[in-house]
Chains A and B, each alone.
Chain A
Amino acid sequence: MAKNQGSETIIAHGVRVEGDFVSDGDVVIEGEVAGTIQAAGDLKIGELAKIGANVIARSAIVAGEIRGNIQVAEKLELLSSARMIGDVTAMVLSVSSGAQVNGKITMDGREVKIKKEKEENGEE
């Protein structure tokens, strides 16, 4: 597994996250998430990951399963093992052969607002 850089968050296989997950940095998810995900940095969802959450991120690479809507401010990459059950909003979308998308795709350039961790904690 890659080492974490800066304030990168890693959720490994064998761990489940429940609740409103907010991160100011990059996020790598190999485990399970139930709730919501907001990542101000780059989000990587691994092949074994199972996400039952609405996802908002600056950019994302998805190889696992997402049951929920995903909004990406910049580029969303769905790799061949990706399974999307929900609506997709992205500025740029890349779908590899074999990836499944079951939902509405919107690419109208609308702004995606990402909540910061500091705002979440009520700090200035």
Chain B
Amino acid sequence: MAGIAARLRITPFGLICLLGLVATLYLSLIWAPRERVMGDVQRIMYFHVASAWIAEFAFVLVGVSSVIYLWLRERKWDIVAYSAAEIGFVFCCFVMITGPIWGKPVWGTWWTWDPRLTFSMILWLIYVAYLMLRVYGDDMPQVKTFLAVLGILGTIDIPFIHFATMWWRGLHPDSLVMTEEGLGAGMEVDMRIALGVSAVVFTLLFFYLMGRRMALERLRDEAEDLRERVEHRHPGSVGV
């Protein structure tokens, strides 16, 4: 265990997040009551909904930092946008994987073009494009501007995902978390606690990953700076 933590370079804060995840696992799989209609498969919700919350939060952060980047043109906001986009994409993948796994036994199908699912797929594809552009054309200033615009476009998709179940008729159930009666009023108290803990732990994990990912970008900048210094003194010595 200590060996894996060392290989992953997990800090004490990261360790707290991982322990929190183990506690969430216990609350979701053992402590929370079994749902009467769907049975145990409903327990996927505790990680599915928490992942969706983080993906949405991350992509809103991408949008906000992209707007600030377009305004101030400061590299730090570009770093925030890139880091949040990558982490948001990872959690969006979790949503896109666990959703169909939950849907198959409950709806009888892996996938349907339900409005919420369709807008989620659009968001996922926007971020595939965003991250591909980051990998292949990140060095050019005009690409950075385009990336910021794409990041903002992705954020515009989020309200459509969030309110799709209210605005259109589809297979995806209405939100049990944000209801007219109050936060989590559609669930039993124990389920609400398990989901609340899961959301808090995933949020902490997001901030931990943001710290790691932003530090990585700063290392990349430092390497780029040093490469330029070597190239300046000895042209042709550093490979592209």
Q: Do A and B bind each other?
A: no
